[in-house]
Amino acid sequence: MKKGQTVRRVAVIGAGMMGHGIGQMFAQAGVDVALFDSEEKVLRRAVPRIKKSLDVFTKRGLIKKKEVKGILSRITLSRSLDEAVRNADFVVEAIVEDLAKKQHLFQILDGLCPPTTILASNTSAIMIKDLSAKAVHKERIIGTHFWSPAQLVPLVEVVRGDHTLPEVMETTVRLMKRIGKEPARVNQDVPGFVGNRLQHALWREAISIVELGIAEAEDVDRVVKMGFGLRLPTVGPLETADLAGLDMVLSIHDYLFPFLDASRQASPILRNRVQSGKLGAKAGEGFYPWTTPSLKKVIQQRDEFLLDWQKRMKLSRKKR
């Protein structure tokens, strides 16, 4: 692995929900991208999805209309994995969150790519040591957890595996900054990394509150969205703790923690919903009833907020 390695060409393996957005971000930053997917229909839909996203970016003033052609010209579609990774300096895996399939893919990639190629996984929770278990060159494997939608959410968790070389970490962090992302260094390879440990801890308590009848789902979400959630984009939880005063935080923790959910297993109410087919928006019911219009409305509201946030960040960077 070369110190200070420059990444000129990237391969994204998996062109679906996450992969097409990841590919878009690299192409926007001037990097040549090879998009691969084993399913032809998924690969065929990738460029139209990217075009639609770029159209929104153009209308919001995040990119110029004249830039779109160049961005799209840097994206190549491939049905051959060997062809996609042949000249890649950096490979991002964005396939289904299945350990066995990821292990198999990294074993193949490890054999196809020279040792100087960095192999990254977009896994949201699986430990890097587990998904790289069958690879020989574990030192060049790293986690890059993009958040959905990848082209809108700034964060990427850069996760160091037990064998990951320091220069692989540094090259990856630089690359994420280069494509306009906010990399967070995760220095220990733990399940869920940082983001999902925090997110699922919140979900555990939220579901427990509903299960105990303390509040309905709508009011739990209202408390987050209209309360402390409004502060989170600008003031993180530990900054908020400092602002409040750690003596007060300690006092509240001593009193409150015995009453919080500390279950080591998933909630029965969650398990019962899954077993009865109430899987959420994709099934028409979860904690809420869902229709096509209500789903579109929520996604539109989310994306509108994220686009506004992107524009504010862009303006802020220009003022620096």
Active site residues: 124, 145, 157, 196
Using the 8-state DSSP alphabet, how is residue 280 labeled? B
* H-run or E-run covering 48: helix 40-59
Contact in structure between 122 and 22 (CB atoms under 8 Å): yes
Contact in structure between 178 and 90 (CB atoms under 8 Å): no
* H-run or E-run covering 225: helix 217-226
The pairs formed by 266-269 with CB atoms below 8 angstroms and a separation of 24 or more are 267/204, 267/207, 267/208, 267/211, 268/211, 269/207, 269/210, 269/211
Integer CA distances (angstroms), 54 to 124, 155, 179, 242, 266, in order: 25, 19, 15, 40, 39
Neighbours of 211 (CB within 10 A): 14
Q: How far apart are CA 126 and CA 139, in angstroms?
A: 17
Q: Which two tokens stand for residue 156?
A: 């990427």
